[in-house]
Structure 1
Amino acid sequence: MKVELLKTFLEVSHTLHFRVAAENLFITQSAVSARIKLLEEDLGVLLFDRSKKHLKLTPEGNRLIKHANELLLMWQKAKQDVGIAEGDNHQLAIGSIMSIWDIVLQGWLTKIHLNIEGMSLLTSTLSPVELRKSLLSRVIDVAFLFEPPYVEDLVITKVATVPLYLVSTESNRAKQKSTLANYIMVDYGESINSQYRRSFQDSPPAKHSMNQPRIALNFLLDVGGCAYLPRQMAFEHIESNRLFIVEDAPVFSREIYAVYLEKGHKVDIIEQTLQLFPYLKT
């Protein structure tokens, strides 16, 4: 597998600029061009349209992105599995949508490290569609989603219920949702989006949309405004009066689910790690 070619392709597809990609990869621009040319020759297609001022992905290039991500994840999993030290007995490949990582998974990873000896972790951030495909093809062992796929052979376990509070940086507006401005829409899935639209029909549209609560929180603290955030994430800033709960706004809740193969060979270790979520403790 020509890993470096795929890594270079993904960097160029992200930046759409050979020079910037070269800087990010710490190689020369000519090396980037050579790698892309080699990959195009191997595949027999053009991956980028270079005919205009700005670089653009071709349809073939767009199709390659998902395959390149999957191949690199599989390679990383294989490399880590083969190279696991003698004292490390288990590898767990974990996938999640981006917004769930900050809410519950960061602390869970720490608990795994501290409580389960010999565990090697491999994490990735994927879309819901990619997570489902990676689970079924055994590229990842367990996935975390807000809205899990109900597919035969998959076990679905609720691991957390997260309350979401509307918080504002302005204390004088924290009692009236109707007067809030500069709203940041955080993507918690279509269920929450629908509830928000029903509850705030007469409110102005969101000023910004962000797919990660941590990014929205930091942005909020820097420039002001309001957003729905998990209480545990905003707690210290509420205590220090940097954020204020909007008292008349509805509180939403978002369930988080772990999904894994019912007959996968890592069911026991997955279920052991899931018990580290407080929601599942007996």
Structure 2
Amino acid sequence: MDVIQAKTFLAIVEGGNFLAAARRVHVTQSTVSARIKALEDQLGKPLFVRSKAGCALTPAGHQFHRYAQSMVRAWEEAKHQVAVPDGFDETLIVGGQYSLWNRLLLRWVPAFQSAAPRVALRCEIGMPQRLMREMTEGVIDLAVIYRPEHRPGVKVKELFEDRLILVTADPMLPVEENYIFIDWGDAFREAHALSFSHLHNPGLTLDLGALGVNLLISRKASGYFPERIVQPHIDSKLLTRVDDAPTFSYPAYVVYQENFSSPEVMLTALRLLEETAEQAVTGSLPPPFWT
């Protein structure tokens, strides 16, 4: 039995079938099948009941699940420790969604380095599903995301509340004529549909988070973005807030390993994140370099 087999097993549990697992671990479906067959041969028990609808865990599969999680987490922790660069005592691996690096995590990084100079940082960006999977596997120590999942060994805490506001780069035009739909997830889509039934198909939809701001400005368009992201653009007159439009709540969460190897390092990281988040939502961060 090896860690790759355990990771493949967990990918099937999370994806619901062998095809989804193959996409998650970046191999062919036949490779996934071969790995699970070898794992089942070693354990002497079938782990999945296969059907057209997907895969369900057998009783043996349910028992093996927590051991697979422990194996993968222990392996990732070992890689953490072995890979600590010379001159450092610890490595902290941090992940975040695209919009949460802008005007938050990128401001947190130098603050953390100043407070913990002997801790090496590795920073990653990604979608919440991948970040949560890597949190479960122990690949990432801390992540800031919008839609977390509660999983064993991982703690979830609300960090701050983003407010999505409607802004436009051309206040002389009606919003309906230059609107871009920025997709902020299921809850936003539902609330948006109730408020803007006439904008259900604007012709252009972006699932790029805050990266869409530049396109909004260049196209002289309108769309919803977190207030903390667009406020510098509003101050510089590149964007204008549409005052009579509804706002939408969009809370962000910090997710972190409950049993991180250095609790004092994690406490420092969380304290500085909370301080940076407070500065972000109150507008007390300095202007970004690109305005």
When the two structures are superposed, what TM-score results if normalisation uses the length of structure 1? 0.65
Find the residue that maps to 2:197 and give its secondary structure. Answer: coil
Encode CA deviations 1:51-97: one digit per residue, 9 max, x unaligned.
xxxxxxxxx9985553259x9xx99x9489525122x2221111223
Tell me whether 1:203 sits opposite 2:199 in the alignment: yes
Encode CA deviations 1:113-168: one digit per residue, 9 max, x unaligned.
23322121112223333222211221111122212112343211112211221000
Q: Which residue of 1 aligns with 2:121?
A: 121
Tell me whether 1:67 sits opposite 2:67 in the alignment: no
User: What is the CA-CA distance between 1:250 and the residue it aligns to?
Assistant: 0.8
Encode CA deviations 1:213-268: one digit per residue, 9 max, x unaligned.
33211111111111111222222321232211111101122111111232332443
Q: After alignment, is 144-153 or 160-169 more displaced?
A: 144-153
User: What is the CA-CA distance between 1:195 and the residue it aligns to?
Assistant: 1.5
Measured in 1, the distance between the counterparts of 2:230 and 2:121 equals 28
Tell me: CA distance 1:104–1:181, structure 2 relative to 1, closer, same or farther (3 Å): farther
Tell me: CA distance 1:213–1:110, structure 2 relative to 1, closer, same or farther (3 Å): farther
Taking the TM superposition and a 5 Å limit, the aligned residue runs for 1:259-278 are 259-276=255-272, 277-278=274-275
When the two structures are superposed, what TM-score results if normalisation uses the length of structure 2? 0.63
5+ residue gaps, structure 1, are: 1-59
Measured in 2, the distance between the counterparts of 1:193 and 1:81 equals 44
Find the residue that maps to 1:227 and give its secondary structure. Answer: strand
5+ residue gaps, structure 2, are: 1-17, 28-71, 280-291
Taking the TM superposition and a 5 Å limit, the aligned residue runs for 1:60-209 are 64-68=22-26, 78=79, 82-86=83-87, 88-173=88-173, 179-209=175-205
Measured in 2, the distance between the counterparts of 1:216 and 1:81 equals 39
Measured in 2, the distance between the counterparts of 1:209 and 1:203 equals 11
Name the amino acid aligned to 1:94. V
Encode CA deviations 1:177-228: one digit per residue, 9 max, x unaligned.
xx43332222333222222121111225233222333321111111111111
Matched residues, number:
214
- Contact 2:93 2:121 (C-alpha < 8 Å) held by counterparts: yes
Measured in 2, the distance between the counterparts of 1:214 and 1:80 equals 34
Find the residue that maps to 1:114 and give its secondary structure. Answer: helix
Taking the TM superposition and a 5 Å limit, the aligned residue runs for 1:3-82 are 64-68=22-26, 78=79, 82=83
- Contact 1:274 1:280 (C-alpha < 8 Å) held by counterparts: no
Tell me: CA distance 1:219–1:280, structure 2 relative to 1, closer, same or farther (3 Å): closer
Measured in 2, the distance between the counterparts of 1:231 and 1:280 equals 13
- Contact 2:97 2:125 (C-alpha < 8 Å) held by counterparts: yes
Name the amino acid aligned to 1:136. T
Name the amino acid aligned to 1:228. Y
Identity of aligned residues (%): 21
Measured in 2, the distance between the counterparts of 1:267 and 1:210 equals 39
Name the amino acid aligned to 1:244. T
Tell me whether 1:258 sits opposite 2:254 in the alignment: yes
Name the amino acid aligned to 1:149. E
Measured in 2, the distance between the counterparts of 1:80 and 1:121 equals 13
Measured in 2, the distance between the counterparts of 1:273 and 1:256 equals 16
Measured in 1, the distance between the counterparts of 2:109 and 2:184 equals 21
Residue from 221, 246, 256 that aligns with 2:242: 246
Find the residue that maps to 2:102 and give its secondary structure. Answer: helix
Measured in 2, the distance between the counterparts of 1:190 and 1:128 equals 13
